[in-house]
Amino acid sequence: MSSLYYEAADVIQAFWNRTASLKTLVYDSPSPKKSYLFALCNKTLLAQHLLDDIVINMPELAGAQVSNKALLYVMLYDSTFGQGVRGGGSIVRLLRSAKKSIDGYLNHLMKEANVKSVGDLLPKEETTEQWKYLRVNRAKTSVAAVKQELSTLISEDQIKEDDMISCLLRIPSSVDLHSHPLVTSLSIILQTKASCFPPFLLLRDIESNPDSPLHFDVIDATAAPGNKTTFLGDILRGHGTVFAFDRDEKRYQLLKSRCDSYGSGNITCIHHDFLTTNPYAATYANVQRIQLDPSCSGSGMSHTSLDFTPPSKQRIQHLRNFQLRCILHAAEFPAVTHISYSTCSVYEEEDEEVVRDALAQLNGEKKEWRLERIAPEVKRRGHDCEGLSEKEKECVVRCEMGDGMGQGFFVCLFRREKGVEMSEEERKKREEAYEKKVSEGSEKRVSEKKEVKEGKKKVVKTEKKAVKEKEKEKPVDYVARIRHCHGKRVPLGKSC
């Protein structure tokens, strides 16, 4: 068996372990054939989801005891889409024995995708670069007017309307619009299709029926820079207010500037931490839906980028704790029945695992919250995750680089049938109790910080005292002192 397979498997396993970027791993490899190594690794990683499908659906592969998964994937790629595996070994024998089944499954996929060769099933790196998406700001203009304006730059057949989101257009990525008046005036927003999913899916019932009598408010919990926020405002015009939160001063100023310029007139920007917001405050009594797009690793933005260095496990753990807190806090708002949760991450730890943990903590004996199946037009669904049922995995949506959505993305929708009904007196009581809890928690944190600070001071003081005591115990070496002073100009009346 070629040593290149083993070298590629080592690199891919390290990449899966988030050790470093693909470029760095290949560069650091002892392989003398770095260009071949990089090509094989890159192509295998690009085809990973297709290879996953093949392995899962082939009993010969799914049930095989393979100690080196990365090696299996490298050789499966080369045997199926490359030059064909060479040499011997257990994995080579396994792939040869499964060849007939693999070919049959690939023929099935080709018929489904209406393509003529297995190579057409592979995602292409350049796919995401061929098109860019534009979202039309319907508070300022119309899709027809934007298409007419764009037709002065490119031919009409290069301007495509999205078949799912009516205000979304697609044009060749080679067209530079950054300084175009349509962009600078916020008449159009440069935004990927995947990024449009959270507001669209959260408010799809109103988007599909603008004359709906529904009237409610929405919270965007971590809103800056505001692309998703302004889309919420666009859809919700005439139906309610969007409360957009951000705790960072600079991000808040950017958010407010964009939302004010957008012109939908129904977005209220709030410089505050969503996690410390009182869910029982009268201001949010009519908030029935919440959009959560919290900080994440951003791995979906660049999961095929060769310069992307994966975050540490500690960083991922910190992020998922924050993401889970956001979901749990959103569910405390009594009138809320819909919560969208999304990330631009492709890691299960930030996606399916967070959703699983949230459902477990939200639901006791009475299963109040569930996942709703969204976007039936999108085929790619959730990854396997212990604790999530097959039905629940089918409820979440995934986008990958090469899907035509513009980026890697994850989105799902938590639902409950109705909110918590309470009298005004009860609401006020809970509001006061919550404020008291937050205040006590804040005081406790300040006290804990003070104790830690005082503790550190005591440790430093004790250490300094110990050093001084030790110095006192040392005998004075007068000879050394004299030598040290030799050649120095010592002022009269002073000793060295």
Which residues are designated catalytic?
344
Residue at 379: amino acid letter:
K
Per the structure block, which two tokens stand in for 253? 């100023």
Strands (DSSP E) contained in 348-428 are 370-371, 397-399, 409-415
DSSP percent split of the chain into helix, strand, coil, nearest 5: 50, 10, 40
In degrees, rounded to 5, the angle at the alpha carbon of residue 134 between the alpha carbons of residues 248 and 161 is 145
Instruction: Please say whether the beta carbons of 169 and 160 come within 8 A.
Output: yes
DSSP 285-297: TTEEEEEE-----
d(CA 406, CA 193): 6
Residue 246 counted as an annotated binding residue: yes
- Which of 204, 210, 127, 200 minimizes the C-alpha distance to 168? 200
Answer for the pair 317, 384: CB distance below 8 angstroms, yes or no: no
Distances (CA, A) of 105 to 32, 111, 120, 382: 36, 10, 14, 21
Angle at 328 between CA 326 and CA 330, to 5 degrees: 65
Residue 293, annotated as binding a ligand:
yes
Length in residues, the chain: 496
Q: Residue 330: how many CB atoms within 10 A of its CB?
A: 27
Q: What count of Cα atoms within 13 Å lies in the side-chain half-sphere of residue 414?
A: 32
* Residue 293 burial (10 A CB sphere; 0-12, 13-18, 19+): buried
Which residue positions form the known binding site? 246, 273, 293
Which residue positions form the known binding site for S-adenosyl-L-methionine? 246, 273, 293
